[in-house]
Amino acid sequence: MQVLIIEDEPRLVRLMRRVLEGECYVVDVAFDGEKGIEKAGFGAYDLIVLDIMLPRCNGLEVCRWLRTNHIATPILMLTARDQLEDKVAGLDAGADDYLTKPFDFEELLARLRALARRVPGAPQEPMLQVGDLSLDLTRHEVLRNGQPILLTIREFALLEYMMRHPGQALSRAQITSHVWPNDNDAVSNIVDIYIHYLREKVDRGFAPQLIQTIRGVGYSIRG
């Protein structure tokens, strides 16, 4: 699952990112409200964690903008204030749930899991399928023709992103922004390296070959 964190406290962002990536979430970050609107309006996220107190556009304004523009991604709002009117204001702006700082990370994870289950029409056990390749988001399992395939966290995140866009030509920039967001350690050919890893595990010994190179663009997965 892909989560956008809109929060201006770097230390808290680092902690949340570490915890969420440890649970196999793919995490992207915006440190102010305007950047949060830009990313949430452009990217396809499963969940948004949104702080109320933000520079350049507060969380309530961000939330209202998203809902006004018909972006229905579930939003968990963070606030350092515990007054009832603040919680009501967040929910009235369009947030789906709220969490008061400081919070326990186990509660953060539990609330995100609950929000993921509320998405209209979402299956209880989300499954992505391309040809004979299946990816179970709940069990974090990948099968090809019924055979289990073991992937690292990044390989799983890359495969999930591609399987969410079957048949689409995805550029290296698109893939990097979703699988390695804000990762300064990502080398320039990181996408090519991980595509090679995936092909070795997903396509080697199977037919047809699902992961395809789109010359001049990037990569695609097609059944």
What does each of the 223 residues of the chain score in pLDDT, given as a tens digit? 889 999 999 999 999 999 998 887 889 999 999 999 999 887 678 899 999 999 999 999 999 999 988 888 899 999 876 667 777 888 888 999 999 998 999 999 999 988 887 665 444 446 899 999 999 877 789 999 999 999 988 899 899 889 988 999 999 988 887 787 655 555 678 999 999 999 999 999 999 999 999 999 999 999 8
Question: For residue 165, how many other CB atoms are within 10 A of its CB?
Answer: 15
pTM for the structure as a whole: 0.61
Domain end position, chosen among 94, 118, 142: 118
| Residue that the structure tokens 């606030």 belong to | 79
* H or E segment and range at residue 211: strand 211-214
| Residue that the structure tokens 């990097």 belong to | 176
What's the total number of domains in the chain?
Answer: 2
Q: Give buried/exposed letters for 108-129 (b at 16+ CB in 10 A, else e).
A: beebbeebbeeeeeeeeebebe
Q: Which domain holds residue 30?
A: 2-118
43 and 16 inside one domain: yes
Give alpha helix (H) positions in the chain: 10-22, 33-42, 59-68, 84-93, 105-118, 153-163, 172-179, 190-198
What is d(CA 187, CA 66) in angstroms, rounded to the nearest whole number? 33
